Structure 1
Amino acid sequence: MSDYRTPASKVRGLGASGHGASHWISHRITAIALFFLAPVFVWMLAMSGAPDPLATRAFLASPAGAIVTLLTLTAGLAHMRTGMLEVIEDYIHKPFTRTLLVLGNTFIAAGLWLITAFALLKLAL
């Protein structure tokens, strides 16, 4: 008997923790978004004359540049957060340490997003 799930969890199709499918789906969606957004972002940035600080500032201040940058940033940070969350939940066994790391992971991802979104808005407006 190698399956320790309850009959109800077997019917619902949930994993051992009950939320594995949603994490897997969100990680794949952000990976697919990055697959399309990252090359577009790099190409647009390269075509803007990126080594020049004024050209980079103009690119980030343009509506298309700001939108693509914000979308790429959002997908990247969400992908980073869900990936690290899985690593923390799978390999950290002490509840207090796991809670601290999950909170730190969330606050770092949210903080990075807020800082860069604020910088983009400041450049764009």
Structure 2
Amino acid sequence: MTMPRVTAYSAARGLGAAGHGAGHWWAQRVSALALAPLILWLAWALAGGSVTDYRDLTIWLGAPVNSILMILLLIASFHHAALGLRVIAEDYIHSRSRFIVIALVQLACAAGGASGIVATLVIAISD
């Protein structure tokens, strides 16, 4: 009886995260691309001197365009941070605690983004 020949490729196929890295890489690039104009918008808006105190901030965020762009900035920045911190945890943590660290990073980024969005809406809606 002859044993079936197993090539290195057929032995490795299906193992590891093949295919998942490209999606993660693209997500990081797209979120970075989204962040570039949003950060420029925020820097331009704040450098203009129109927001100097809380009252001015409520007026500025009361404009729908500004509050929507601020929310998009929060979503993109916390998503980008979660992606980057996950890569760091995957690359540098080699123990069983990696899953816990990744879960905590994801939860912290989700909580930060959610609290930023709620704060933006509260400030925008308050009179």
Both structures adopt the same fold (TM-score exceeding 0.5)? yes
Q: What's the TM-score once normalised by structure 2's chain length?
A: 0.81
Task: Identify the residue that residue 117 of structure 2 maps to in structure 1.
Answer: 117
Q: Which runs of 5+ in 2 are unaligned?
A: 1-7
* Residues 77-124 of structure 1, C-alpha deviations (whole Å, 9 max, x = no match): 1110000000101111112x1011011101100001111111111122
Secondary structure at 2:81's aligned position in 1?
A: helix
Q: Quick check: 41-50 or 60-69, which moved more?
A: 41-50
What is the total number of aligned residue pairs between the two structures?
A: 116
Task: Identify the residue that residue 102 of structure 1 maps to in structure 2.
Answer: 102
Of structures 1 and 2, the one with the larger relative CO (CA 8 A, separation 6+) is 2
For residues 63 and 47 of structure 2, the distance between their equivalents in structure 1, rounded to whole angstroms, comes to 15
AA aligned to 1:119 is A
Shift of 1:16: 4.5
For residues 119 and 30 of structure 2, the distance between their equivalents in structure 1, rounded to whole angstroms, comes to 26
Percent sequence identity over matched residues? Answer: 28
Shift of 1:54: 1.3
Task: Identify the residue that residue 57 of structure 1 maps to in structure 2.
Answer: 58
For residues 5 and 122 of structure 1, the distance between their equivalents in structure 2, rounded to whole angstroms, comes to 56
Task: Identify the residue that residue 5 of structure 2 maps to in structure 1.
Answer: none
For residues 5 and 41 of structure 1, the distance between their equivalents in structure 2, rounded to whole angstroms, comes to 49
For residues 13 and 16 of structure 2, the distance between their equivalents in structure 1, rounded to whole angstroms, comes to 12
For residues 71 and 30 of structure 2, the distance between their equivalents in structure 1, rounded to whole angstroms, comes to 16
Is 1:81 the counterpart of 2:82? The answer is yes
Bigger CA radius of gyration = 2
Secondary structure at 1:17's aligned position in 2?
A: coil
Shift of 1:5: 5.8
